[in-house]
Amino acid sequence: MWKKAVVFVLHVSCILHHVSAVGREELFPYGTPNGDWTLQEGDDETSEVMSLSRPMHFYDTSFSKLYVATNGIISPGWQDVFDQNHLLSCDAT
């Protein structure tokens, strides 16, 4: 039993020996000096509308505006969706 424990400890130490984190110098430039925007603090705050230089195609819809939220969600410009009549319609019977 102790042999299995020794082998396990050796394997773990070999694995941990080769693990390293990414340094800041290896990341893309970030922050407001590099053109990033700062969002207001809070839950579900969103950025101002971001106009895209080229439209983003998603299935049969094209979006030219995006909003970014503090929770990480990126949503298309809602006005674009309404303008393209993608609302469901219901026929009364």
The answer as to whether 73 is a domain residue is yes
| Cβ–Cβ under 8 Å, residues 53 and 65 | no
The answer as to whether 27 is a domain residue is no
Q: How many domains does the structure of the chain reveal?
A: 1
74-76 vs 61-68, strand pairing mode: antiparallel
The answer as to whether 5 is a domain residue is no
Predicted confidence (pLDDT) per residue in 25-35, tens digit: 888 888 888 88
The answer as to whether 74 is a domain residue is yes
Which among 15, 7, 70 is positioned nearest to 39, based on CA atoms? Answer: 70
3-state secondary structure at position 14:
helix
pLDDT band at 65 (very low <50, low <70, confident <90, very high): confident
User: Which tokens in the block code for residue 65?
Assistant: 């505006």
Element (H, E) at 33: none
Predicted confidence (pLDDT) per residue in 1-54, tens digit: 778 888 888 777 767 666 677 887 888 888 888 888 787 787 777 778 888 899
What's the pTM?
A: 0.45
The answer as to whether 38 is a domain residue is no
Q: How far apart are CA 2 and CA 23, in angstroms?
A: 38
Please compute the mean of the pLDDT values over residues 68-92 and round it to a whole number: 58
Looking at residue 37, its pLDDT comes to 79
Q: Provide the domain limits for residue 59.
A: 44-86
